[in-house]
């Protein structure tokens, strides 16, 4: 019975340890992102619906993808990963700003850029949603998706991390606030219910001393656990300069 319990705990611990280790590593080593100079969408007149962590759970689809082309006020997105919802298409058409629609401009998502988007599907097109005199600018087609500017509905992606209006304490209508990039796997964990909103907030803050202490504590916990971890997620043997400095001030009686 003890062996079975230990085995079950080990299976649960392994992915959790990998995610925690990666999160604290990237928080410590990835540079801050500078804030964008202007708010986007504040002049539309809509009420702020909340940060990404508040609006994404209610979206029809949350997807990680790369912008392929811009056609009028639409962006064709090549999906890489669905973080919420089902996805069967090779390309998604996401309709952006036109007329008085509260959406970001398509030019903000240039080809080659990567994003996490919380999207709403178009289920019905209003009567004036299509104008034959401006066929490349419209409300959108039934079955396609729209991206709202009335909340933190998108995050900019760089590698396997993302930045943007992620958590409630970030300023409204600013989509690139000062923050530390957050692992996409951590964001996916939040949408899956295994990571808390507070954990996202902590990961987005830059507090080098606290992060170093967390890394040191994690190393202590993982010491001697390499047999339980995959080789590619085991802690490094050589501590960094920051962890060495933290170790010098640690309790000398610690194992």
| pLDDT tens string 158-181 | 999 999 999 999 999 888 888 999
Task: Tell me, yes or no, whether 19 lies in a domain.
Answer: no
Burial class (CB in 10 A: 0-12, 13-18, 19+), 210: middle
Residues 196 and 211 in one domain: no
Pairing of strands 92-95, 145-146: parallel
CATH code of the domain in which 182 resides: 2.40.50
Residues 63 and 185 in one domain: yes
Residues 122 and 244 in one domain: no
Beta carbons of 191 and 84 less than 8 angstroms apart? yes
Total domains in the chain come to 2
Beta carbons of 179 and 204 less than 8 angstroms apart? yes
Is 53's pLDDT higher than 80? yes
Mean pLDDT of 207-216: 63
Is 99's pLDDT higher than 60? yes
Tokens, residue 112:
């080659």
Between CA 167 and CA 158, with CA 202 as vertex, the angle to 5 degrees is 70
Predicted confidence at residue 41, as pLDDT, reads: 65
Tokens, residue 76:
């064709």
Three-class SS state of 118 = strand
Residues 68 and 142 in one domain: yes
Domain that holds residue 180: 42-204
Predicted confidence at residue 238, as pLDDT, reads: 45
Query: Cα–Cα distance between 177 and 164 in angstroms, integer?
Result: 6
Residues 73 and 111 in one domain: yes
Beta strands in 85-140 (DSSP E): 92-95, 114-121
Beta carbons of 122 and 140 less than 8 angstroms apart? yes
pLDDT digits (tens, 9 = 90+) for 109-149: 999 999 999 999 999 998 888 877 777 789 999 999 999 99
Q: What is the pTM of this model?
A: 0.69
* Residue-wise DSSP of 142-178: TT-EE--SSS--EEEEETTEEEES-STTSPTT-SS-S
Longest dimension (CA), the chain: 77
Tokens, residue 182:
């957050």
Residues 240 and 251 in one domain: yes
Last residue of a domain, one of 179, 204, 229: 204
Q: pLDDT above 90 covers what percent of the chain?
A: 51
């Amino acid at each position: 019975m003890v062996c079975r319990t230990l085995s079950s705990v080990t299976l649960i611990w392994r992915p959790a340890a990998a995610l925690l280790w990666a999160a604290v590593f990237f928080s410590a080593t990835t540079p801050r992102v500078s804030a964008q100079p202007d708010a986007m969408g504040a002049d539309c007149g809509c009420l702020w619906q909340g940060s990404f962590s508040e609006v994404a759970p209610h979206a029809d689809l949350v997807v990680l993808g790369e912008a392929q082309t811009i056609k009028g006020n639409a962006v064709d997105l090549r999906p890489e990963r669905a973080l919420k919802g089902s996805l069967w298409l090779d390309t998604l058409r996401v309709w952006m700003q036109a007329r008085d629609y509260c959406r970001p401009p398509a030019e903000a998502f240039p080809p080659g850029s990567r994003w996490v988007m919380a999207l709403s599907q178009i289920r019905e097109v209003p009567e004036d949603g299509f104008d034959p005199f401006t066929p490349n600018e419209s409300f959108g087609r039934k079955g396609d998706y729209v991206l709202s500017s009335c909340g933190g509905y998108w995050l900019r992606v760089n590698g396997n991390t993302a930045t943007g209006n992620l958590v409630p304490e970030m300023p409204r209508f600013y989509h690139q606030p000062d923050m530390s990039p957050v692992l996409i796997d951590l964001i996916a964990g939040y949408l899956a219910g295994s990571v808390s909103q507070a954990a996202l907030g902590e990961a987005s803050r830059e507090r080098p001393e606290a992060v170093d202490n967390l890394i040191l504590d994690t190393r202590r916990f993982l010491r001697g656990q390499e047999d339980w971890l995959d080789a590619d997620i085991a802690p490094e043997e050589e501590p960094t300069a920051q962890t060495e400095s933290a170790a010098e001030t640690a309790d000398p009686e610690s194992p």
